[in-house]
A and B are shown apart, each in its own frame.
Chain A
Amino acid sequence: DSGVTQTPKHLITATGQRVTLRCSPRSGDLSVYWYQQSLDQGLQFLIQYYNGEERAKGNILERFSAQQFPDLHSELNLSSLELGDSALYFCASSVSYLALGVENTEAFFGQGTRLTVV
């Protein structure tokens, strides 16, 4: 158990709809990273928040948004969903404000939310 909690585990929704994915980081971690994993794209970085502020942005679509709340949990909002948005969405947390892979920035990943758009 990584200590990172993601809900829901599975989500099935129709095209055009909007969903919210939730992530609770490990106790004490200030950074939250969101990743999308689809079969043909591997793990793609979406966005990072550190202590409530947006820290870095990756390949996140304009239809997607995220925020981190004062209690440090984070939500990823996906709107106007398309079939191609079907993927596993992972949240990771770290004590560091730096990117994954930087010295001593070990991140802990949740179990993911599997989103299926039909």
Chain B
Amino acid sequence: LAKTTQPISMDSYEGQEVNITCSHNNIATNDYITWYQQFPSQGPRFIIQGYKTKVTNEVASLFIPADRKSSTLSLPRVSLSDTAVYYCLVVLSNSGYALNFGKGTSLLVT
């Protein structure tokens, strides 16, 4: 399983764009990159998934450079309600293993 590294915490102000970068240096050819969001005392919620280049949905964008050794989750114009923990997951595409989420990035928006 690819190991991921992300900042423990980040602060932002309302209306700002927030970029959270995840490093996954040993990502395998078939690995996808997935981000989940978790609010306090709630279960995680799927945000976005990508394989390469850029993916955008109504919530966020995911930027993946050509070497795929990192990825950046971009949250446009954050609000107070975006305060949450954000998890980056990288899993072998054919793996039968569900993985541990790690500790994620705690984003505080004020």
A residues at B contact (CB < 8 Å): 2, 4, 33, 35, 42-45, 48, 55-56, 58-59, 88, 90, 92, 98-104, 106-112, 114
Contacts and interface: CB of A to CB of B under 8 A. Distances in A.
Contacts of A4: 43
Interface stretch (B11-19, B45-53, B58-66, B68-76): B45-53
Given A42-B104, A101-B32, A110 B43 contact: yes
A88 B51 CA distance: 31
Contacts of A100: 34, 89, 91, 98-99
Contact of A55 (B32, B96, B104): B96
A23 B65 CA distance: 39
5 contacts: A56-B96, A58-B100, A101-B90, A102-B91, A102-B92
Contact of B43 (A42, A99, A111): A111
Nearest to A2: B43
Given A101-B32, A102-B94, 8 more contacts: A33-B98, A42-B101, A88-B41, A98-B95, A99-B97, A99-B99, A109-B43, A112-B42
